[in-house]
Homo-oligomer: A and B are copies of this chain.
Amino acid sequence: MAWSKEMPANPVVAVAGATGAVGREMLVCLEKLNFPASEVRLLASARSAGQKIPFAGCGQVPAGELTVQEMTEESFQGVDIALFSAGASISKKFRQAVVDAGAVMIDNSSAFRVDDDVPLVVPEVNAHDLAWHSGVIANPNCTTIQMVVALEPLRALGHIDRIVVSSYQSASGAGAKGMAELEDQIGKALAGQDFEPAAFAHQIAFNCIPHIDVFMEDGYTKEEWKMVVETKKIMGDPLVKVAPTCVRVPVLRCHSESINLEFDRPVDVEEAKKALANGVHVVLEDDPASNVYPMPALHAGSFDTFVGRVRRDPTVSGDRGLALWVVADQLLRGAALNAVMIAQELLPKA
Interface residues of A (CB under 8 A from B): 162, 164, 166, 168, 183, 186-187, 190, 201-203, 205-211, 215, 218-220, 241-243, 245, 247, 249-252, 256, 258, 260, 269, 288-289, 291, 293-297, 308-316, 321, 323, 325
Contacts and interface: CB of A to CB of B under 8 A. Distances in A.
Given A289-B215, A325-B245, A295 B258 contact: no
Contact of A291 (B202, B249, B309): B202
Given A210-B258, A249-B250, 5 more contacts: A164-B164, A186-B190, A202-B297, A208-B295, A247-B256
B291 A206 contact: no
14 contacts: A162-B315, A168-B247, A203-B297, A206-B251, A208-B296, A210-B256, A210-B295, A211-B288, A211-B291, A215-B289, A220-B311, A243-B260, A243-B315, A245-B260
A258 B215 CA distance: 17
A241 B315 contact: yes
Is the contact region of chain A dominated by helix, strand, or loop, or is it mixed?
A: mixed
**A207, A215, A220, A252 interface centre (most CB from chain B within 10 Å):** A207
Contacts of A288: 211, 215, 219
B186 A313 contact: no
B210 A325 contact: yes
